[in-house]
Structure formats: C-alpha cells, structure tokens
Amino acid sequence: MFVSRKHLPRRTVLKGAGVSLALPLLDAMIPSLTATERTVASADRLRRLGFVYIPMGCDHSRWTPATTGTLQELTPILSPFEPVKQHISVLSQLELRNAYPGTHATSNASFLSAATARRTESTDYFLGTTVDQIAASVLGKDTQLPSLELSMDLIAAVGQCDNGYACVYQNCLSWSSPTTPLPPEAHPRIVFEQLFGEGGSPADRKAALQRRASLLDAVRDEFVRLKNTLGPADQQRITEYQDAVRDVERRIQRAEAGVSDNILPDLDRPVGVPAAYGEHARLMFDLQKLALQGDLTRVITFQMARETSNRTYPEIGITEPHHPLTHHGNDPDKIAKVAEINRFHVSLFADFLKQLQEIPEGDGTLLDHVLYMYGSGMGNPNLHDHLNLPIVVAGGAAGRIQGGQHLDFGKPTPLANLHLTMLDRVGIELERFADSTGKVKQLFEPVSI
C-alpha cells in the first residue's frame, strides 16, 4: 500500500456550488486511522448488501447446473456469469412457503420478507419488515442514505393488481415495517440527485441542471486541490471515479435529449429515462456502482421488472409480452423465449459484477467487498409455484463467502435461511428470520470437489 502525503478521513466529501461528492475508499484514508478504526473500516467494507429481483421465475431446464459442488459448465441462462464464475454461487431448492396461495403479488412481496401478505385491496395491507431494511437499520446509520430502492418500472398502478392483493405488494420490494412499503425509484436523474445533488420538484431539478453543466464541474477545483496532495495510486482512483461519474452524467443527459427529440407520444415516461430497456438497466446498475464506491449507501434493492410485466424485449428479438409467455402451457417455443429473457436479465447483472471486479478497493476489488442476492420469488411461472426459486449469490463479503459452487439442498428449504446467512455475513446476528430453520453454512465453508 502506498502511503500518501496526506491522511484523509473516510467520510471526506468534496463541496462546491451547492453540491457535495463523496469519495471512494483511498489509501490516504487508511494511515489516518488508529488500529481500532482500521479494523472498523475493514469491517465496513464488507458490510454492503444488494438484492436484485427478476419477475416470473425461470426456465429451470436452462437455468439449473448439471452438477453440484464446484461450479463447472454454466447453463445457457447462466453463461454470462462465466467471467465472474468464481464469485457466484447458484442455490437450488429454496422455497417461499409463506408466498402461497401462489400469486404474482406474493412472489414479489415475500422475496425479501419471507412473510405472508395480508390479502386486501385497500390500504390495510400488512406484510413484514424486509431483510434489506433490517440490514439498513444497522448499516445505514453512518451513510448518506440508509438504503437505496430502485426499479425499472414507473409505479402507476394502484388499488387491486392481482387476485385481491393491493398493488403495493407488486410495486415495492422493501418494507421498513409490516405497514410501511418503500416505493422504488426508476428515474435515473432523480436517483443521481439523491446520491449527488439537489432534490426538489421536477421544476427545481430542471433549474438545477441548467445552473450547472455537471456535478463534476461544480467540484473541479476541489478535485485538483485534493489530487495534488495524494499519491499516484489514489490519484488514479480519483480519476477513474471522476470518469465514472462523468459517464453517468453524459448518459442521463443523452437520454433526456433523446426523449425530447422523440416525436412519438410518451406520456408515461419522464424525461431522462432511456427508451431501451438494456440501456436503462445498465444506467441503474452504474448508479448502484457509484453509490457503493462512494459509500453513499450500503444497502440496495433493485427490481428489474414488476411481476405480470408485459414488457417486450426487441433488443434480443422477443416481441411478445413477457407475462403471457410465462403461461407457456409447455409450448417449447414459448419456453425458449422465456429462457432468452432470463438470460438477458442475467447478462445485465453479470456486466455489473464485472465492473465491480475492475474497481480496486482495499486488499482486493469492490466485488470482493459486496454481497448480492439475485433471483425471483416464483419458481415455475406456468404453475405459479414458489418452489426451487432461481437464486444466485454474488460477491465475496471480504472473504466471508465461498463462491464458484452450486448448492442443491435436495428438498424444499426456506429462502429465509439465505436471508439469515447474508445478515450474518455482514455482521448482523439474528437467531431467526421469518420461517428460517438455520444458516446456509455451505456458503462460508470450503467448496467440496
């Protein structure tokens, strides 16, 4: 480790023109800490949790690895994980027993709560505190945002959405209490300003955008001053972080211009949301990367699409709506298209993991110091069951998670066991979560070969 000429506090931010920008973890922040503080800083780096939700299950025949133990040849859906294979674990036979009677609403609602949703079409909804919010109550005490809730779909539906269940169950992954859902944000500009700049009304945000060409311009002088005091490695990290922030800014501005120039009516999509699903998703993943890199939050949830989504995916040649395809009636052509959508979603998450792997942090990379769960609250969408959920765990949690394996529990096992384990791996000890029966010890024991 290069010891720079200046020691910085971990919470250093740059300020200018009414904005502030948090910095990534730098070598210069380590020598300024006491031995005890260094231990705490080290622990903080592993105390990051993320959850990514995909709707309507998967095609198990193209998802499930052929062998257990060491992860060998990846299946067609999971093949985009190849470059980060040693950093993921695939888990089979996890279930959400409390999600029955088997609906889209309860698939989403139970994914992070493992709780039974009260069946209601009104505002007397009741679920359970979700695992991300349990983590946020501890990990979010020292960050700008206790947690960050993201989605790809603008929340427009209210009332009853699915078999007598209020729409809130499908709209929201995160609940800070059994009666308090946390609506996610799908607009990249609003998320960016949550992380780095001014909020306010849409008119306020537009005025702020006009006042300043970019966030980085506002703190340019501070960056120059800081970089002159740092060693070469930290200077490089600062430059890479600046480039990443600048790239996100450009893409948001390009998306705004593209929507403004579009002559087709687009009343439901605010200015700044890319028209193409893949571009929008990559931008939302990049915002997660910046939030983690700058330690602006340590808990993130991301809903890649809502249950019952009728989104099409022309980017990969799928012009039929997703939801009807999942009611395939064992039609091989429809099942193959569901698998293509599954693979597309995986590819976007895999690209995000590869980016985290390229960012140095501490004694490894950013990927080494995060812990993400990716998956669905539904197993076989044709049956609306909650068995054998498609679940992947990614990241190293600073050496506290074993990757590169396929775990098959052999019988239905509560997904809550994984939630309990993930909390444990970031230092939050609970005896039980929802219907859990124990921790998944295979995730932190040596992989059998």
* Mean pLDDT along residues 6-31: 62
Tens of pLDDT, residue by residue over 398-445, are: 788 989 999 999 999 999 999 999 999 999 999 999 999 999 999 987
Among 258, 259, 300, 304, CA closest to 281: 304
Helix H or strand E encompassing 162:
strand 160-162
Among 382, 434, 384, 326, CA closest to 101: 384
Q: CA torsion sign, 195 to 198 to 204 to 208? A: negative
- Which pair of tokens denotes residue 329? 């009636």
pLDDT of residue 20: 62
- 173, 53 in Cβ contact below 8 A? yes
pLDDT of residue 447: 47
Specify the pairing of strand 180-182 against strand 174-177.
antiparallel
pLDDT of residue 204: 57
Give every CB contact of residue 371 below 8 A, 6+ residues apart in sequence. Answer: 46, 48, 49, 50, 393, 394, 395, 396, 397, 401, 422, 425, 426
- 169, 322 in Cβ contact below 8 A? no
Tens of pLDDT, residue by residue over 168-211, are: 999 999 999 999 999 999 998 888 888 876 545 555 545 555 55
* Mean pLDDT along residues 14-33: 62
pLDDT above 70 coverage of the chain, percent: 77
pLDDT of residue 39: 44
Q: Place domain 33-186+273-444 in its CATH homologous superfamily.
A: Alkaline Phosphatase, subunit A (3.40.720.10)
* Mean pLDDT along residues 13-32: 62
- Which pair of tokens denotes residue 296? 């602006």
pLDDT of residue 272: 63
Angle at 304 between CA 254 and CA 190, to 5 degrees: 45
Map tokens 């809903």 to a residue: 303
Confidence of residue 18 (pLDDT cuts 50, 70, 90): low
pTM, rounded to two decimals:
0.81
Q: What distance in Å separates the CA atoms of residue 277 and residue 355, rounded to the nearest whole number?
A: 19
* Position with higher pLDDT, 46 vs 388: 388
* Mean pLDDT along residues 88-105: 95
How far is the CA of 307 from the CAs of 37, 78, 132, 185, in angstroms? 44, 21, 20, 16
Q: What distance in Å separates the CA atoms of residue 138 and residue 48, rounded to the nearest whole number?
A: 11
